[in-house]
């Protein structure tokens, strides 16, 4: 017989979004964190090769990133004992066909310096001089230690009394008498607030709760692990990629991660690589570098989920009492998680938003999809 639990807040999804919010609420609220897999962060969070890039996403994303930066740099060492960021840099390049996308990227960017092709090849020596027509470098782009961030959020959530239930997918939720009754195979949870932080499954969770979906669409993205180019020390190479976003590459632990940068709409599932899509992306990569791909050591795929306007959703649903959305983070969920967790926590508390984030409440609200914004 399933266990029966009560809580102030039940959060569905123990990825970076749900765990970050649990860490923010813990100590002030009795929180239950529900995870459908056997361990937290199995899907998008655990498959992210994240990098903190200020010039990434729309204005709302950039605002959340700016607000997250001080929290990354000034992280509490009792919660995050190791640094969360390390300098990487990002090099945007373009061939003749990509010059339009390149100039659109550079225009209005912060902290980005246009390089000569020779300077770009000093940073990444394998770039082909005959194909390289433009380059720009963002020095302040930094690697994010995703595991350290996620583990720290879990540590803080546990210390504040959060209860984690793994292997506990939501099967049904109903609202009555001012509370949600949330059914899972492991337990039935009664909570005043139900948070949908289910990533690719966000609309599924909403439907199972009797709430109209928002159109959160999972998009598959693939990654290949290649051996380092022979004779090259790639340790300090920046992340580098096509300004048109048809591929990118990132050094990692002595290997080179290469992605086709695809966005293919799929149903929520345990994502796997499409070999043809990966091969096409690797071909585009090979066209830009003097480095033939002779071996793929391994590959994987993950799901990046977007709302219809490609802006995250954070707020109470105006048509469903006590139902809070924290979804649609797309490819920005890791780098925006400190600020988005803090803002979501304030909204659940019905408190004043953090300074600098007040203007983002309306653009993030699910009310924009309900005709009540």
Residues 31 and 166 grouped into a single domain: yes
Give the per-residue pLDDT at 46: 55
Element (H, E) at 209: none
Per-residue pLDDT band for 47 (boundaries 50, 70, 90) equals: low
Residues 32 and 97 grouped into a single domain: no
Q: What angle do CA 101, 96, 250 make, to 5 degrees?
A: 65
Find the mean pLDDT for residues 78-86: 94
Encoded tokens for 212:
């109209």
User: What CATH number is attached to the domain comprising 127?
Assistant: 3.30.9.10
Give the per-residue pLDDT at 373: 53
Structure confidence by residue, pLDDT tens digits, 217-235: 999 999 999 999 999 999 9
DSSP 366: G
84 inside domain? no
74 inside domain? no
Residue 115 has pLDDT above 90, yes or no: yes
Give the per-residue pLDDT at 44: 61
Residue 23 has pLDDT above 90, yes or no: yes
Per-residue pLDDT band for 38 (boundaries 50, 70, 90) equals: confident
Residue 49 has pLDDT above 90, yes or no: no
User: What CATH number is attached to the domain comprising 314?
Assistant: 3.50.50.60
Find the mean pLDDT for residues 296-322: 96
Give the per-residue pLDDT at 40: 85
Q: Which of 306, 324, 358 is the last residue of a domain?
A: 306
Domain that holds residue 302: 90-139+217-306
- Residue showing tokens 């001012």: 178
Residue 161 has pLDDT above 90, yes or no: yes
Q: Count of domains in the chain?
A: 2
Residues 206 and 224 grouped into a single domain: no
CB distance 30 to 193 below 8 Å:
no
Residues 150 and 55 grouped into a single domain: yes
Give CA–CA dist 364/328, Å, rounded: 10
Give the per-residue pLDDT at 45: 60
Number of Cβ within 10 Å of residue 165's Cβ equals 19
Q: What is the DSSP string of 160-198?
A: TTPEEESS----EEEEETTEEEEE-SSEEEEEEEEEE--
Give the per-residue pLDDT at 355: 87
Q: Which of 306, 321, 348 is the last residue of a domain?
A: 306
Give CA–CA dist 249/15, Å, rounded: 25
Q: Which of 202, 197, 196 is CA-nearest to residue 217?
A: 202
Give the per-residue pLDDT at 80: 95
- Residue showing tokens 């300074």: 355
Give the per-residue pLDDT at 56: 82
Structure confidence by residue, pLDDT tens digits, 233-254: 999 999 999 999 999 999 998 9
Residues 299 and 156 grouped into a single domain: no
Give the per-residue pLDDT at 117: 95
Give the per-residue pLDDT at 43: 64
């Amino acid at each position: 017989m399933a266990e029966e639990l009560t809580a102030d807040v039940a959060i569905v999804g123990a990825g970076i979004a749900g765990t970050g919010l649990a860490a923010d609420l813990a100590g002030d609220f009795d929180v239950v964190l529900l995870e459908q897999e056997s361990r937290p962060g199995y899907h998008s969070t655990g498959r992210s090769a994240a990098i903190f890039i200020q010039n990434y996403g729309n204005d709302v994303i950039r605002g959340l990133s700016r607000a997250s930066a001080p929290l990354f740099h000034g992280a509490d060492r009792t919660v995050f004992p190791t640094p969360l960021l390390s300098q990487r840099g990002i090099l945007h390049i373009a061939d003749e066909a990509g010059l339009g996308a390149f100039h659109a990227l550079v225009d209005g960017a912060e902290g980005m310096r246009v390089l000569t092709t020779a300077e770009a090849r000093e940073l990444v020596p394998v770039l082909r001089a005959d194909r390289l027509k433009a380059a720009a470098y963002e020095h302040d782009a930094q690697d994010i230690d995703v595991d350290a961030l996620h583990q720290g959020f879990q540590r803080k959530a546990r210390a504040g009394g959060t209860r984690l239930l793994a292997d506990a997918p939501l099967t049904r939720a109903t609202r009555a008498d001012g509370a949600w009754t949330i059914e899972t195979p492991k337990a039935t949870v009664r909570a005043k607030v139900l948070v949908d932080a289910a990533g690719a499954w966000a609309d599924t969770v909403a439907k199972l709760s009797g709430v109209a979906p928002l159109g959160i669409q999972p998009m598959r993205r693939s990654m290949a692990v290649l051996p380092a180019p022979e004779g090259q020390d790639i340790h300090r190479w920046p992340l580098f990629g096509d300004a048109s976003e048809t591929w990118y590459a990132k050094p990692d632990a002595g290997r080179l991660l290469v992605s086709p940068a695809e966005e293919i709409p799929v149903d929520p599932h345990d994502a796997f690589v499409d070999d043809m899509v990966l091969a096409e992306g690797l071909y585009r990569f090979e066209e830009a570098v003097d480095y033939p791909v002779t071996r793929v050591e391994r590959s994987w795929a993950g799901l990046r989920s977007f709302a219809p306007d490609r802006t995250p959703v954070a707020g109470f649903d105006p048509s469903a009492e006590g139902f809070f959305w924290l979804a649609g983070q797309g490819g920005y969920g890791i780098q925006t998680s400190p600020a988005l967790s803090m803002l979501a926590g304030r909204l659940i508390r019905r408190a004043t938003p953090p300074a600098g984030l007040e203007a983002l409440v309306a653009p993030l609200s699910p009310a924009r999809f309900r005709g009540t914004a």
